């Protein structure tokens, strides 16, 4: 019986034992991704030179430099029946096209949960602290204590539920807005209050963003939304950069509406606006929440 054929865009670095088992059961061709142009050419070449079609196609985390996964990139892989992508988001994948072609798409939404939540907590705490270069404490203001502050969460999925649970240890008041209200028992467990988006923006001391990027959430937070917020609000985003209108964000930061921010994502990543690199009131990370040593175990669970 012929082995099923798989096209892998990227090669796993951690789940080597599981990869060996997979290679014993499937016939796998690897494309090592670089930039969009070269990855596009490599995928097309792999499909053109293979005498039989692929049954499955998967790609790994870290695809910013060659996304999106759309018809242009993936059509040669058809009639592949299953596409699998590493990560929780699906904004880089043309799911509508994949399903219209008669294929399935699956991702790994649970894989980065704890790591991203930990990064989010770190950025909340970092945003409420201050830093200096070569000045020690000279001229630094007192920093804020999270105790008693209102944490306003937009998007109460697995990651933010973990964030909410961890921030309870700091005695923060949790309010949230979500596409669907959580069950009462979950709200009680998290001690979280469901509110409208406008209520959340007006009440929160720390704005916490972790909703998916969709057509509806693109620039969800812009000038009008910043105007609703308290003066001196903190903003933390580990979801997708384009949920925030970066120009409006910069204006709000310069005016003092946003006092400090913690950002793991950017609208034009990996090319970060120089403002965020230079502003001493912004703590930045390179979309790194899910990249931890324990990631190897999570990658194993995927296989």
Which pLDDT does position 165 carry in this prediction? 93
**Is residue 54 within 8 Å of residue 47, measured between CB atoms?**
yes
Distance CA 97, CA 35 (A): 22
How confident is the model at residue 109, as a pLDDT?
74
Series of mean pLDDT values for 10-residue runs along the chain (303 residues): 88 82 91 94 93 90 86 93 84 93 87 84 82 64 86 94 93 96 95 97 96 94 98 95 96 95 90 90 83 60 54
Predicted confidence at residue 35, as pLDDT, reads 93
> Is the backbone of residue 153 left (phi > 0), alpha (psi -120 to 50) or beta?
beta
Q: Rounded to whole angstroms, how far apart are CA atoms 204 and 248?
A: 18
pLDDT at 185: 96
Q: Which residues pair with 150 in a beta bridge?
A: 173
Distances (CA, A) of 193 to 160, 171, 176, 187: 14, 14, 6, 7
- Which domains are seen in the chain, by residue range? 4-109 (3.40.50.720), 113-284 (3.40.50.720)
């Amino acid at each position: 019986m012929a082995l099923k054929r798989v096209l892998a865009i990227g090669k796993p670095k951690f789940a080597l034992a599981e990869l060996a088992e997979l290679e014993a059961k499937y016939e796998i061709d690897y494309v090592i991704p670089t930039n969009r142009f070269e990855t596009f050419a490599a995928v097309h070449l792999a499909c053109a030179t293979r005498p039989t079609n692929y049954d499955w196609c998967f790609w790994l985390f870290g695809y910013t430099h060659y996304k999106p996964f759309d018809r242009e990139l993936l059509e040669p892989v058809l009639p592949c029946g299953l596409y699998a992508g590493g990560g929780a988001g699906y904004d880089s994948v043309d799911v509508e096209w994949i399903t219209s072609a008669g294929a399935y798409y699956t991702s790994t939404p649970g894989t980065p949960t704890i790591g991203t939540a930990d990064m989010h907590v770190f950025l909340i705490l970092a945003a409420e602290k201050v830093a200096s270069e070569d000045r020690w404490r000279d001229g630094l203001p007192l920093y804020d204590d999270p105790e008693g502050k209102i944490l306003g969460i937009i998007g109460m999925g697995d990651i933010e539920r973990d964030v909410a649970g961890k921030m309870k240890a700091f005695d923060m008041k949790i309010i949230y807005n979500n596409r669907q209200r959580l069950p009462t028992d979950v709200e009680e467990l998290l001690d979280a209050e469901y509110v409208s988006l406008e209520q959340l923006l007006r009440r929160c001391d720390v704005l916490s963003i972790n909703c998916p990027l969709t057509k509806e959430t693109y620039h969800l937070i812009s000038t009008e939304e910043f105007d609703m917020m308290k003066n001196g609000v903190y903003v933390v985003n580990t979801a997708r950069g384009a949920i925030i209108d970066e120009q409006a964000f910069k204006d709000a930061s310069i005016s003092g509406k946003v006092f400090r921010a913690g950002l793991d994502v950017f609208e034009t990543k990996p090319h970060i606006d120089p403002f965020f690199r230079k502003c001493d009131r912004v703590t930045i990370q390179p979309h790194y929440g899910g990249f931890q040593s324990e990631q190897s175990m999570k990658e194993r669970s995927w296989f």
